[in-house]
Amino acid sequence: MALEKPYKDIPGTIIFDADQSRKGYWLNQFCMSLMKASNRERFKRDQRAYLDEWPMTEAQKQAVLDMDLNRAMALGGNIYFLAKIGATHGLSFQQMAGSMTGMSEEEYRAMMMAGGRSIDGNRYLGEDGTAQPQHQPQGQAGRKGI
């Protein structure tokens, strides 16, 4: 019997629940492997070869190679584990979060300092707020395809 998931209607949000955890188990294990310096070195030396050592889906591996954190989360990645990939590449959490919105680091910081995204239009899918799928990615970086 499937559980009801009313939270699936929150725009711009992926809830890391038991289903996501199962889906992303090997992706998250790979991320945790980056806690060891020797593994980070191996990954940076040949990302594809290192990823191929893990029984992840091809889509998960491609999301890692593309540094597409939104896709990695949709495929079961936990943001706190995925942060290890960014750290391996020398990125701050703020830079990573900005990339997930299509904003530059500066735009993302300014948005957060101004109180974050407005709740108006972002309570449910189908509204017209900035977190809605039709407005992603946002920011100058997103408009430039960066």
pLDDT of residue 3: 76
How large a percentage of the chain has pLDDT more than 70? 91
Average pLDDT over residues 120-143: 68
- H or E element at residue 82: helix 79-88
**Domain coordinates in residue numbering, the chain:** 18-90
pLDDT at 12 over 90: no
- Residue located via tokens 């030396």: 45
Highest mean pLDDT among 3-17, 42-56, 88-102, 104-118: 42-56
Sign for the pseudo-dihedral over CA of 119, 123, 126, 127: negative
Q: How far apart are CA 31 and CA 45, in angstroms?
A: 16
pLDDT of residue 22: 95
Contact criterion met (CB below 8 Å) for 85 and 34: yes
- H or E element at residue 25: helix 25-33
pLDDT of residue 121: 76
- Residue located via tokens 């725009």: 11
SS3 98: helix
Which pLDDT tens digit goes with each residue over 72-129? 999 999 999 999 999 999 999 888 888 888 888 888 899 889 888 777 777 777 777 7
Q: How far apart are CA 134 and CA 93, in angstroms?
A: 25
pLDDT at 51 over 70: yes
Q: What is the CA radius of gyration of the chain?
A: 16
CATH topology for 18-90 is Protocatechuate 4,5-dioxygenase; Chain A (1.10.700)
